[in-house]
Amino acid sequence: MSWKETAEPVLTRMPNVARPTGHVPFRRKLGWTGGVLVLYFFLTNVFLYGLGAGSQDAFGAFRTILAGGQGTILQLGIGPIVTASIVLQLLGGADLLGLDTSNPRDQVLYQGLQKLLVVVMVVLTGLPMVFASGFLPADPQVAQSLGIGLVGVKWLMFIQIFIGGLLILFMDEVISKWGVGSGIGLFIVAGISQSLIGGFFGVGGITGQDGFFAAWYDILVGNTQVQPLTAEGIQTLLLGEGQIIALITTVLIFAVVVYAESVRVEIPLSHARVKGARGRFPVKLIYASVLPMILVRALQANIQFLGRILNAQWQNMPAWLGVYQTGQGGAQPVAGLFYYFAPIYAPADWMWWAGTTTAEPWQIMLRIGVDLTFMVVGGAVFAIFWVETTGMGPEATAQQIQNSGMQIPGFRKSPGVIEKVLERYIPQVTVIGGALVGVLAVLANMLGTIGQVSGTGLLLTVSITYKLYEEIAEEQLMEMHPMMRQMFGD
> 82, 60, 459: which is closest to 296 by C-alpha?
82
Q: Please, are residues 137 and 51 in contact by the beta-carbon 8 Å criterion? A: yes
Q: Which amino acid, 178?
A: W
Amino acid at 412: R
Closest CA to 177 of 42, 15, 16, 295: 16
At the topology level, CATH places domain 243-490 in: Preprotein translocase SecY subunit (1.10.3370)
Question: Is 272 in a helix, a strand, or coil?
Answer: coil
**Across 100-104, 244-248, 395-399, 433-437, least confident range:** 100-104
- For the chain, helix (H) and strand (E) counts, in that order, are 19, 5
Residue 479 has pLDDT above 70, yes or no: no
DSSP state for residue 343 in the 8-state scheme: P
71's CB contacts (< 8 A; 6+ apart) are 47, 48, 51, 55, 136
Q: Who's near 97: CB < 8 A, 6+ residues apart?
A: 88, 91, 110, 113
| pLDDT at residue 482, rounded to an integer | 57
Ramachandran bin of 455, using left for φ above 0, alpha for ψ from -120 to 50, beta for the remaining angles: alpha
Say whether pLDDT at 35 is over 50. Answer: yes
- If you average pLDDT over each of 98-107, 232-241, 242-251, which comes out highest? 242-251
Distance CA 51, CA 29 (A): 37
Q: Which of 57-71, 132-146, 206-220, 294-308 has the lowest mean pLDDT?
A: 206-220
Start-to-end C-alpha separation, the chain: 37
Paired sense of beta strands 330-335 and 406-407, if any: unpaired
Residues 6+ apart with CB under 8 A from 221: none
Cα separation of 482 and 61, whole Å? 45
Residues 241-266: pLDDT tens digits? 788 888 888 888 888 888 887 888 88
**What is the SS3 assignment for 275-329?**
CCCEEEEEEECCCCCCHHHHHHHHHHHHHHHHHHHHHHHCCCCCCCCCEEEEECC
- How many CB atoms neighbour CB 327 within 10 A? 9
Q: Residue 296: its pLDDT value, please?
A: 87
**In the chain, where does the domain assigned CATH 1.10.3370.10 lie?**
3-14+24-179, 243-490
At 485, the pLDDT band (50, 70, 90 cuts) reads: low
> Coil, strand or helix: which one is 267?
strand
Residue 179 DSSP SS3: coil
DSSP 8-state secondary structure symbol assigned to residue 30: H
When comparing pLDDT for 328 and 173, which is higher? 173
CA neighbor of 444 nearest in space, from 256, 269, 179, 303: 256
pLDDT at 94: 65
- CATH code, residues 3-14+24-179: 1.10.3370.10
DSSP 221-260: HTSS---TTSHHHHHHHHTSTT-HHHHHHHHHHHHHHHHH
Q: Which helix (H) or strand (E) holds 407?
A: strand 406-407
Q: What angle do CA 372, 118, 42 make, to 5 degrees?
A: 90
Q: What is the DSSP letter of 49?
A: T
**How far is C-alpha 430 from the chain's CA centre?**
18
pLDDT of 489 above 80: no
Read off the pLDDT of residues 376-419 as tens digits, 9 standing for 90 and up: 998 888 888 888 777 788 888 888 887 777 778 777 777 788 88
Q: Chain-wide mean pLDDT for the chain?
A: 83
Instruction: Please tell me whether the overall predicted TM-score, pTM, comes out greater than 0.95 for this model.
Output: no
146 three-state secondary structure = helix
> What distance in Å separates the CA atoms of residue 96 and residue 116, rounded to the nearest whole number?
17
| Gyration radius from the chain CA atoms | 24
